Chain A
Amino acid sequence: MLAFFALPDLAEAGKSLILLHPVDMLIIGVYFAMVLGIGFYLRRYTRSGDDFFLAGREMTAWVAGLSFVSANLGALELMGWAAASYQYGILATHWYWIGAIPAILFLGLVLMPFYYISRTHSVPGYLQLRYGESTRGLSALSFAFMTVLMSGINMYAMALVMKVVLGWNIHFSIWVSSITVAVYVALGGLFSAIFNEVLQFFLIWLGAMLIPILGLVETGGWSGLVARIHQNFPQGDYTHLWRNMGHFAGNPMGIHWTGIVLGLGWVISFGYWNTDFLVVQRIFAAKDIRAAKMAPIIGSYFKMAVPFIVILPGLLGLALLPFRLVPESAVGVGQHSYNEVLPLMLARYCGPGLLGLGITALIAGFMSGMAGNVSAFATVWTYDLYRPFVNKRASDQHYVKMGRWCTILGVVVSIGTAYLVMHFGSIMDYVQALFSFFIAPLLGTVLLGMLWKRTTSAGGFWGLLAGSVSSITMFLLVKFNPRMLSVIALSRDAKDMAENMYRALWSWLICVIVTVVVSYCTKPKPVEQLTGLVYGCTKLPSEEHLPLWKRPIFWAGVSAVLFLILQWVFW
């Protein structure tokens, strides 16, 4: 979901944006000591494969839910979306509300019971149960490959941010942060990753929340903020979510509301939140099926609140900064880019101590994202590639050892990727695009597999392959012939963001059509082989004995109502 963050030009990074004091360094040092200490402490509890890869399936709904949100709250996500809100205004909030909440609630209420009841360990593991080894292999290989590459790209981008913002040596940032993550995840596995993600969740919120609070005090509340933005930027509308989405040319993103609703709100969002193992793995660790359903629902409330610490600082930048930020490519001497809005606002309000807390929040965000990547990579590599295709009959201890080594291997590959991107920056664009190639079609494969018993193994495999290939084809078409954008996004006024939305939509549709057609041409599995995997063939536990306020459906309903109210308030 990292869409906007562009790398600062290394050559331009002459001096740092923020100067840290010894007390700030002390705060950062305490953080590193704590996360490593947790890793060493949890090592004694990480003995079996279930412990290392699934945190023993002992997590409560709250722990799994906070970890679920935290794994997605990377530092570049925080800074990238704050930058996007400076550039596009409140439109960036779509990625947190319609681009997340419906999909998260769907995961909790509909998909999670099947993932949990099947007792699988990963999303590719579910695909093996439903479709067979070939679909699992295709999905696992693409996920493992892309996860470590993305981890490396994030690592490099974060190190670059630390150089620009704090003046830190880029190699120091890469090695210190990645070795810390490698140590604590290799020691404690998913236990350690989840514990640290909960810790990081608190640090991110408490480190970043002071900016919107003080910002709103300075502007005199929301109405004062809106008035100042209109005064500074009279020609644009930065404070309405839907009002200007009726035409591609009516908003700065160059996207139509259908692209936001169908491309982002449906395909990309449902694909990411329901099938990306990086986030879903946290819910697999829940202690029972009710906790597994409640965890994403709890997460939805916090996800809905994230714009307060991410989008609001960008809007405050529009209202309060005495100079205008510019795109990364246009930064001149003495100018700042959109990407620097969050550190600029941090430096505006936070003195020594608070500044250290804010920087720790960014470091924590980066490390939680990276830990999520490497723990998911270790699980998928060990259980979905190594065990079925290399060594089927090893002991549980052997797989745990493989998981620990995979964690270190994942970090090493990530570091290698970081250095590769350092020398060949354009790789970053391709890898980010590659990641999106598999998410949208995978949604079609998982949904049809869970909700339609007629789907066959061949249908699942060929649908997934066709969806991925069509997505790659559309990407290449636009790359080599930019005029194709208007064909794919259905408008001459469409911009890059619209291409992402519509490409996802078409590739999902192609996956679904191919899956349905091939399924009708091939023989389905007997119904008895689909129990625990498919809706209609599975007995789901009843919640009627629970009081209303303990039922997941009740809290999902409250979350949905809040979501609708927010759309109405900021329409």
Chain B
Amino acid sequence: MDDNLESTAKGEPVDPEPSPRAHHMIPVWFFVGIILLIYGLIILGTGIYEFSSPPPTVLAKLHPAIWWGALLTAIGGIYVYAYMPKKS
């Protein structure tokens, strides 16, 4: 970093290119996908279990854990697949 950063103010627009190492870093979206996939599977599993032992919550008959778990699994799966780090 410039030792005297304050002196770098200029009239011309500055538009730096991203450094090459940014391309080697695992994208944040992959981490998002991993955690949503894990959560989706856990909640989906809980939802299946709740068919035999429904929770004492309002609208439990709609089985929110099933479809919310499925949604998280789908979103997480898509993100993991799309942003999986590639071997190079």
Interface residues of A (CB under 8 A from B): 23, 26-27, 30-31, 34, 38, 41-42, 45, 48-50, 56-58, 63, 113, 116-121, 125, 128-129, 194-195, 198-199, 202-203, 206, 210, 214, 217-218, 287-289, 347-354, 357, 383, 393, 396, 399, 531-533, 537-541
Q: Which B residues touch A537, using CB under 8 A?
A: 11
Q: Which A residues touch B21, using CB under 8 A?
A: 45
- Whole-angstrom distance from the CB of A379 to the nearest CB of chain B? 12
- Verify A353–B14 contact, CB threshold 8 A: no
B interface residues, how many (CB within 8 angstroms):
47
Interface residues of B (CB under 8 A from A): 1, 3, 5-6, 8-16, 18-19, 21-22, 25-26, 28, 31-32, 34-36, 38-39, 42-43, 45-47, 50, 54-60, 62, 64-65, 68-69, 72, 75
Instruction: Pick the contact of A27: B8, B12, B42 (CB < 8 A).
Output: B42
Instruction: Pick the contact of A531: B11, B35, B56 (CB < 8 A).
Output: B11
Q: Which A residues touch B11, using CB under 8 A?
A: 117, 531-532, 537-539
Bound complex: CA of A57 vs CA of B43, how far in Å? 37
- Whole-angstrom distance from the CB of A194 to the nearest CB of chain B? 8
Bound complex: CA of A352 vs CA of B65, how far in Å? 9
- Verify A31–B35 contact, CB threshold 8 A: yes
Bound complex: CA of A399 vs CA of B5, how far in Å? 13
- Verify A202–B58 contact, CB threshold 8 A: no
- Verify A351–B55 contact, CB threshold 8 A: yes
**Nearest-neighbor residue (CB-CB) of A54 within chain B:** B1
5 pairs, CB–CB < 8 Å, chain A vs chain B? A45-B21, A217-B59, A354-B64, A354-B68, A532-B11
- Whole-angstrom distance from the CB of B22 to the nearest CB of chain A? 4
Instruction: Pick the contact of A289: B14, B31, B54 (CB < 8 A).
Output: B14
- Verify A120–B5 contact, CB threshold 8 A: yes
Q: Which B residues touch A120, using CB under 8 A?
A: 5-6, 9
Q: Which B residues touch A57, using CB under 8 A?
A: 16
Instruction: Pick the contact of B9: A119, A288, A399 (CB < 8 A).
Output: A119
Q: Which B residues touch A50, using CB under 8 A?
A: 1
The 4 closest A-B pairs by CB, nearest first: A351-B55, A531-B11, A353-B46, A49-B1
- Whole-angstrom distance from the CB of B26 to the nearest CB of chain A? 7
- Verify A540–B16 contact, CB threshold 8 A: no
- Verify B6–A128 contact, CB threshold 8 A: yes
Bound complex: CA of A26 vs CA of B39, how far in Å? 9
- Whole-angstrom distance from the CB of A378 to the nearest CB of chain B? 15
